[in-house]
A and B are shown apart, each in its own frame.
Chain A
Amino acid sequence: QKEVEQNSGPLSVPEGAIASLNCTYSDRVSQSFFWYRQYSGKSPELIMSIYSNGDKEDGRFTAQLNKASQYVSLLIRDSQPSDSATYLCAAGGTSYGKLTFGQGTILTVHP
């Protein structure tokens, strides 16, 4: 059973702080990793994708991948109240673009 586990949360951080979201995956053949953001009552939207070990930065977001440890993380710098949402981690292999999703971590950024 392929699994993706996320830190359970909920996570609460003050405005301006760094939010750290973590994810581990069990399937060693996973090659692609994604972070989606989902606002309450809305569908998931893609924030970041990462395929190689190391860091990938996009604005205030940094995704980190360590395939040896089977670990993916998302850092949100200068967190804003508008970042309050559920964050979904997903891992994919080569099978027809299927992704396995984690349970999600609820992030609240308070002013």
Chain B
Amino acid sequence: DVKVTQSSRYLVKRTGEKVFLECVQDMDHENMFWYRQDPGLGLRLIYFSYDVKMKEKGDIPEGYSVSREKKERFSLILESASTNQTSMYLCASSSSSHSGNTIYFGEGSWLTVV
């Protein structure tokens, strides 16, 4: 089974703090994604990566950055957290080589910025 692990499940941070959200997948997937999910807005893509050290902006990259130094790990960084970044963050991964482009999600990280 594919496993996508988000190490931080629940975080409370202060405005202006730097926040790191870590994600690890164990299926040697090429592609990794960060989404945020808000009521009424659905899933919105923040950033994705299709290879080590490669990254592409998604639909809402402002205020975020990412890092992918190893194939299995994809980090989301909030350089200076703001209250409008309070949300659930979902990491996901997929393979480019088979199963179409089925995306598998981690369990989610709930971030509250106060």
Interface residues of A (CB under 8 A from B): 31-32, 34, 42-46, 49, 51, 88, 90, 92, 96-99, 101-104
Contacts and interface: CB of A to CB of B under 8 A. Distances in A.
Interface stretch (B14-22, B69-77, B79-87, B102-110): B102-110
A43 B106 CA distance: 7
A32 B43 contact: no
A96 B31 contact: yes
Interface of B: 30-31, 33, 40-43, 45, 48, 50, 56, 58, 90, 94-96, 99-108
A102 B99 CA distance: 21
Contacts of A98: 33, 45, 48, 58, 101
Contacts of A103: 40-42
Given A44-B90, A99-B101, 8 more contacts: A31-B100, A32-B101, A34-B102, A43-B90, A43-B107, A46-B103, A88-B42, A88-B43
